[in-house]
Amino acid sequence: MDVMEAGMGHSLDLIAGELNDMTARVVRADPMVLGRVSDLVVESPRIFVLGAGRSGLALRMTAMRLMHLGLSVHVVGEVTTPAISSGDLLLVASGSGTTSGIVRAAATAVEAGARVLAITADAASPLARLADGTTIVVPAAGKLDRSGRASSQYAGSLFEQAVVVIGDALFHALWARSGQDADALWTRHSNLE
């Protein structure tokens, strides 16, 4: 890596370019899936989110925004999270689509009659199959891909950034659809901080 590539300005440009390319490819890949996602969230009595590591942190951000909209949302693994049941939605993210705990939770959700919305980099993964046609496929490198073809960033960084951006896009679309103003959302912020 030369001195120009080591600068933060170069890195910001590189990341912004990769994100821009990724979002354009996601939108072009299957606009029908993106259209179904908002409906799926709104139609679900409760939304559960689950991801491991940085993907899990990104989905926690989405959970908070969905709560700001007034939706019933739970982070899997928290002590107050109820059991998932028929009609609920499990929103999961796994770059590989093979993370055992995530796939196991998705299988449990399906067995309970819940629906699964998956964000993954592998459309043929076990997680994508459990989502049954409601999978957002992110064209990003997996954690172990060191080739630099899908992304110049380290490990699964582009995938994790995609989860944040997709979650914010989902929130923004739902917010616009809801007709709520920003003041209404603000009343749902924690006042304990």
The angle at the Cα of 72, spanning 71 to 78, to the nearest 5 degrees, equals 135
- Using CA atoms, how far apart are residues 98 and 66, in angstroms rounded to an integer? 26
Distances (CA, A) of 22 to 28, 55, 151, 163: 10, 16, 10, 11
- Active-site residue, 111 included: no
Question: Which amino acid does the sequence have at 160?
Answer: E
Q: Which of 43, 78, 111, 160 is catalytic?
A: 160
> How do beta strands 73-75 and 135-137 pair?
unpaired
H or E element in which residue 158 lies: helix 157-178
H or E element in which residue 5 lies: helix 3-6
Residues belonging to the active site: 160
